[in-house]
Structure 1
Amino acid sequence: MATARETDIGAAVSETYRKLNESLRRGVFPPGSRLPGERDLAASVGVSRSTLRQALGRLAEEGQLDRSSQRGWFVPRQMVGEPPSTLQSFSEMARARGLAPQSKILLQRVRPATFDEAQRLRVAPAARVLELRRLRSMDAVPICVDTSVIVLALAPGLADLDMTDLSLYETVERLSQIRIARSSYTVRADASDEATAALLEIQPGAPILIGEETTYSDDGTAVLTGTMSYRADAYRFEADLFRPL
């Protein structure tokens, strides 16, 4: 049977947990932020550090907090990613989560397709393509560096548009009257180089996830090929996998 002191401690932990959980829910500590030091946080809540640590531990077990032995307690960044077996553009992915997508154009040019691109896109070598490289963000947090190569013959007028905050999938579908239906997609882990790290506001060598895709219309026509370099702390890929009958 619990003693009165143990009951009091348990009640204090539960109350501290409730207060911190409410603060997280209200955005007092936004995703990606570091909580105040344990001494200051315990004083602000009005409990001992041992009681605070138990409440913080409960929140960490639920995935609401992360702990670094060197730097303290952090609120995890909101992870984004496509729902299982659903093909979405970056803009669609953001809007589906109630976030505002933003882009900064790093490169937009018309050029001949390379041999490798021509093979993947099933066009003649040196066919005209649009290379579009953008820094993609959600609610002003940089998420990925996105480079796409699009067959210009399928989307007349695309090269003349300001693609800063336009969805590439939606724009291609509007201009071409085709429907983007599927993507051949692979994901691999890598370490960020200095240029990519600077754009994504992470340390050089920090982990990134690189997605490579070739996207097709519903009649099997290859529309675009692309490479997306995602911050590993802000993106995850999900898929439904099926065993053959």
Structure 2
Amino acid sequence: MLLEKQHKYLEIKEKLKNDILAHKYLIGESIPSERDIAREYQVTRVTVQKAMASLVQDGFIERIHGKGMFVLKNTDTSIYILNNEKSDSILGFSREFQSKVKVTSQLLTFEVIDADHRVARHLDIAPGEKIYFIRRIRLLDDIPVLIEESNIPLSVIPEIPETVLRHGSLYRYIEDFTHRKIKDADSIIEAALFDEQMAALLNIAPGLPMLKITEVTRLDNKTAFNFSLSYNRADIFRVKNMRIER
């Protein structure tokens, strides 16, 4: 009898986990109640609670008192650290993570536009100057994890091949093109929520937490070459605390 209960607990856990990984339930959506699961598997609530506790421990679901159980993540993807204080963290998304996982991009927008006053101010150019506006979905192991928008002045980088944006490293190309090293970046990190449009692009539920990063990146001659905004899934990324000494 004990073995049967143990088997049922694992069976329920694996079935729910597989349903979550198959995106039957999106992040932020509720899963069936313990009562419904117990009825479906013809087990006691105690057995179901054990399966739920294991899924909570593995980070797949969370329990909100009075509301039910909700999906926290729907992949086996690890947690990744942004702004990790290493040199690779300013060399672009591709080079920062390519040694850990497969990094790919889905190009949404690639056009030349006039810089508005806000973008021009961050790039130290005049309003109305031509810039590349690039919008991409970035994926780790084929899982969409962030939306990235880049604003790059044509006066600094007059030519960007589309193949680089789809299959290569933009920042590596910029270093090769300019014959200069990427030197530093100023970042602002804010908490926000994904709206319906962005959530649909990342295949997650609207209203889930986001890490919004606004950044200006410069070459070693202090030329600002990219004013970027990235909208990162907070269930996958964490930000490393800076160590401050007196």
Same fold (TM over 0.5): yes
Q: Distance in 1 between matches of 2:218 and 2:22?
A: 35
Q: Distance in 1 between matches of 2:137 and 2:192?
A: 18
Q: Distance in 2 between matches of 1:209 and 1:197?
A: 13
What are the equivalent positions in structure 2 for 1:156-235 lying under 5 Å apart? 156-158=158-160, 160-162=161-163, 163-235=165-237
Higher relative contact order (CA 8 A, sep 6+): 2
The corresponding residue for 1:81 is 81
Q: Distance in 2 between matches of 1:32 and 1:239?
A: 32
Q: Which moved more, 1:129-138 or 1:149-158?
A: 149-158
Q: Check the 8 A contact 1:208/1:231 in 2, yes or no.
A: yes
Q: Which letter maps to 1:150?
A: I
Aligned residues: 227
Q: Distance in 2 between matches of 1:68 and 1:82?
A: 27
What are the equivalent positions in structure 2 for 1:1-245 lying under 5 Å apart? 50=46, 53=49, 57=53, 60=56, 63-68=58-63, 76=73, 78=77, 79-82=79-82, 84-86=84-86, 87-88=89-90, 89-98=92-101, 100-158=102-160, 160-162=161-163, 163-243=165-245, 245=246
Q: Distance in 2 between matches of 1:204 and 1:73?
A: 13
How big is the shift at 1:230? 1.5
Structure 1: 5+ residue stretches without partners: 1-8
Q: Distance in 1 between matches of 2:149 and 2:85?
A: 22
How big is the shift at 1:108? 0.6
What is the CA RMSD across the aligned residues, in angstroms?
3.8
How big is the shift at 1:178? 1.5
**Identity over aligned pairs, percent:** 23
How big is the shift at 1:134? 0.8
Q: CA-to-partner distance for each residue in 1:14-63, whole Å, 9 max, x for gaps?
A: x98xx89xx8xxx99859887999759x99xxx98747755864674x65
Aligned CA distance change for structure 1 residues 32 and 217 (closer, same or farther; 3 Å): farther
Q: TM-score, normalised by structure 2?
A: 0.71
Larger Rg: 1 or 2?
Answer: 1
Q: Which letter maps to 1:85?
A: E
Q: CA-to-partner distance for each residue in 1:155-177, whole Å, 9 max, x for gaps?
A: 2321x433113222112112111
Q: Distance in 1 between matches of 2:68 and 2:105?
A: 31
SS of alignment partner, residue 129 of structure 1 = strand
Q: Distance in 1 between matches of 2:225 and 2:199?
A: 29
Structure 2: 5+ residue stretches without partners: 26-30
Q: CA-to-partner distance for each residue in 1:59-89, whole Å, 9 max, x for gaps?
A: 74x6555344666586845322325213242
Q: Check the 8 A contact 2:82/2:237 in 1, yes or no.
A: no
Q: Which letter maps to 1:147?
A: E
Q: Which letter maps to 2:197?
A: A
Aligned CA distance change for structure 1 residues 197 and 102 (closer, same or farther; 3 Å): same
Q: Distance in 1 between matches of 2:121 and 2:130?
A: 14
Aligned CA distance change for structure 1 residues 127 and 83 (closer, same or farther; 3 Å): closer
Q: After the TM superposition, which segments of 4 or more aligned residues of structure 1 sit over 4 Å from their partners?
A: 27-40, 47-56, 62-65, 69-77
